[in-house]
Structures are given as C-alpha cells and as structure tokens.
Amino acid sequence: MSFKELLWGERNCHAGCWFVLYEEDVIRKNKKKSKTPFAPKKVYRWGRRVILANDVCLNETPNVIVYPRSSSNSGKNHAAHTSEHQADYVQCKVDMKGTILFKVPCVVGTDKLDPKEDPKCWSCEEPIDSEVRESLNRLFKFGQGRGI
C-alpha cells in the first residue's frame, strides 16, 4: 500500500501499516492498568508511531486496534527501517531503533488515519519479509482467508 492508494483509493489497509499520530489520539484499550507506556509530557505532541494490527477497510470500520512503538523502551527489538525502504516510502518515520509494545493494544478512530485530514499521518508499510510481519501473522493468524 502506498500513500497515494490510501489517499485516493478505497482505503484498504493491511496489517503492518505504520501511522504517526498525536499521543492523545492513541487510546489505551485496557485503561485499568495504571502504568502507561506513554510519557505524560508528550500527550499533545505529534509523533506516536503505531502499527495496524489487522487488515481493515477504513471506510467501513470506525475504530481499529494498533500497537504503539517506543524508541525509549529498553528492549529495542525493532530496527529502524533501512534507507532503501525509506526511499520507497518517503514519508517513513520509523527511523530509530525501538520496541513495538504488543502487550499494549490501543484503539484509534479511523478518521485519525485519514491522510486527507492529516497528510503526515501515513508513514509506511512494514516490509513483507520482516520479523514484525511474521509476528503479526503468528499473533493474529493472518493469511488464512481473513482480511480484505
């Protein structure tokens, strides 16, 4: 998927699409946990990288589940995207080593993922052969007749 497909197409997004949002737009799915992975001082700042967890049509779904990425977390098991990847996706903002917080599901309104509203929200799509794609397939059982 490309930025142009998202902007002018049917808005079908695949699991593994990256977006960059305001901290306040990323709502924690389980608010009962007191410890938040987000820095309170960043609440109104732009720059929270999130990965889409499921294949969705953004025109038909009001909310989607995403997983946040932290570049300050100590695990740092997700490498920054390569310069070759960033050449294909000029808006790619996955530019630092970090950790995808799969234990912190969050909900985002699909209107926040609309590049017509905010052109900088689209980042890129995770490379097909990446470990993250394999994790998404394993964790959420994609590629078995589900999706769009």
DSSP secondary-structure letter at 16?
T
Q: How far apart are alpha carbons 132 and 98 in whole angstroms?
A: 12
Instruction: Select the more confidently predicted residue: 1 or 103.
Output: 103
DSSP secondary-structure letter at 134?
H
Nearest Cα to 8, choosing from 93, 88, 109, 119? 119
Residue 146: per-residue pLDDT: 38
What would the pLDDT profile of 29-58 be if each residue is shown by its tens digit? 665 554 455 666 666 677 889 999 888 888
Residue 35: per-residue pLDDT: 47
Q: Which pair of structure tokens corresponds to residue 94?
A: 């996955």
Band (20; pLDDT cuts 50, 70, 90): very high
Counting residues of the chain whose pLDDT is more than 90, the rounded percentage is 6
Instruction: Select the more confidently predicted residue: 68 or 142.
Output: 68
